[in-house]
Structures are given as structure tokens and as C-alpha cells.
């Protein structure tokens, strides 16, 4: 596609339920990133994929969070047993490196509300 | 510990005036430094980044930033602000390996006519 897409755009769920967020990066981008932005706060790095592997999972806030990426394309971020503090906008980005310069492109985000 | 401080929660400037947004970081090694802009209708966008080399970095939309190691700063500047620059600006610091970053809390820019 023309840009990074994320789905759903909005998700309302009940505390304790599992949710799955999807990111479709720009075709050919090998690097993929997940971030979280809670209301009134800055961005938090969650996880980074290079291809299908995740060399850095240090940003995941707890073991309820996991992420996968298949085929160097789609990535899913799963939050199990959601809590109210998980409410946030979850942003995905992909990047390409051309001539040694890496450029990052963001998706529109998924707004998650846990009741 | 690694951290990023943006001392100004919000700044108001007149259209056409110059702008400087402050960013200070704490990082154990040579940092990778970034500025992002988040506009209500356009989402998040990378303005510029510093990895190495020239300490004055040019970005998109007429922005530039200067890395000053002695001051642990990476301030963002623009010589003449346009009303469309009104947005929230985030400074971030990272390590090798791309965009694993720690973000500042952001500075909201208001532009008055």
C-alpha cells in the first residue's frame, strides 16, 4: 500500500479481555516498530522487528504483551487480560534504508479503550 | 539512566517569528537523536535525526537541530514559523539499532497570527 496501515482504528474492550492489533507496513520495509502513547503522555517504545525477528523486546510493559511478525510484512500486537492502564493509542511504524539513510513512516494508530 | 527532558510544556510564538524548542538528554554512549512532530490531522512524523557527522542537522519543513555534546542538548530551530507548524513536538534519544527510542514528554507549539 501507499503507507502504513493499522486496524482496527478504534477498539473498545472490557477489562480482562484479550485484544489483537494489526499493522501492515509499507511493502519492502524490513524494520517495524510498535509504540504506545497514553493520554497526556509521550511515546513509549514497545518492540522492534528486523525482518521476522525481534531483537529488542525490552519495551514491552509486561508479559501480557506480545508481538509477532510473519513474512516480513504484517505484524500483530496482542494484549492479554487487558487492564485499564493499557488504554492508549498504539502506533506502528516501518522504515527503509536508502543510501545509508533510514526513514521512518508511521501508521495512523489504533486507539484502545479498556473499560 | 537514559532520559530526555523537554523543559517547555508549551510555547507560543507569532507567525513569522523564529522558534527554538529545547531538548536535553542523558545517555551513556554516543546518542542517536530525533525530533518528531505530531499534528492532529497528520499523525506522527519524523522531522530529522542525528546519528553522526555534522552536528547541525537539516530536516523537513525548514527545521534544523544542533547537537551539542558539551551541553547534552539537541534543540530544534526554525527561522520563521508558519501557522501550520502548530503541533506537538517530541525529542527522542536512542541507541544503535535504529529507532528504539526514549521520548521526551513533548512541547506543544501554538502559533498566533
Q: For residues A21 and A6, is the Cβ–Cβ distance under 8 A?
A: yes
Does A33 contact B at CB distance below 8 Å?
Answer: yes
CB contact under 8 A, B105 and A43: no
CB contact under 8 A, B92 and A41: no
A46-104 pLDDT per residue, tens:
998 888 888 777 789 999 999 999 877 999 999 999 999 999 999 999 988 777 666 78
Does A93 contact B at CB distance below 8 Å?
Answer: yes
B54-65 pLDDT per residue, tens:
899 999 899 999
CA distance A31 to chain B (A): 9
The pLDDT assigned to B15 comes to 97
* Mutation for testing the B interface, residue in A31, A43, A51, A59 having most B CBs under 10 Å: A43
A15-25 pLDDT per residue, tens:
999 999 999 99
Amino acid at each position: 500500500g501507499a503507507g502504513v496501515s493499522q486496524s482496527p482504528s478504534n477498539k473498545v474492550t472490557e477489562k480482562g479481555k484479550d485484544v489483537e492489533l494489526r499493522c501492515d507496513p509499507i511493502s519492502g520495509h524490513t524494520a517495524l516498530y510498535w509504540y504506545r502513547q497514553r493520554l497526556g503522555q509521550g511515546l513509549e517504545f514497545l518492540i522492534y522487528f528486523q525482518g521476522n525477528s525481534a531483537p529488542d523486546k525490552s519495551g514491552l510493559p509486561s508479559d501480557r504483551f506480545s508481538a509477532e511478525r510473519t513474512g516480513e510484512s504484517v505484524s500483530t500486537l496482542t494484549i492479554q487480560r487487558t487492564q485499564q492502564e493499557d488504554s492508549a493509542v498504539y502506533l506502528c511504524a516501518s522504515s527503509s534504508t536508502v543510501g545509508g539513510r533510514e526513514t521512518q513512516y508511521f501508521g495512523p494508530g489504533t486507539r484502545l479503550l479498556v473499560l | 539512566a537514559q532520559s530526555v527532558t523537554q523543559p517547555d510544556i508549551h510555547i507560543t510564538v507569532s507567525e513569522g517569528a523564529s522558534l527554538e524548542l529545547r531538548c536535553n538528554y542523558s545517555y551513556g554512549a554516543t546518542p542517536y537523536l530525533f525530533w518528531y512532530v505530531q499534528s492532529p490531522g497528520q499523525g506522527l512524523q519524523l522531522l530529522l535525526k542525528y546519528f553522526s557527522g555534522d552536528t547541525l542537522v537539516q530536516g523537513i519543513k525548514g527545521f534544523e537541530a544542533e547537537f551539542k555534546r558539551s551541553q547534552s542538548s539537541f534543540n530544534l530551530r526554525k527561522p520563521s514559523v508558519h501557522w501550520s507548524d502548530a503541533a506537538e513536538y517530541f525529542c527522542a534519544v536512542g541507541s544503535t539499532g535504529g529507532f528504539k527510542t526514549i521520548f521526551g514528554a513533548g512541547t506543544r507549539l501554538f502559533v498566533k497570527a
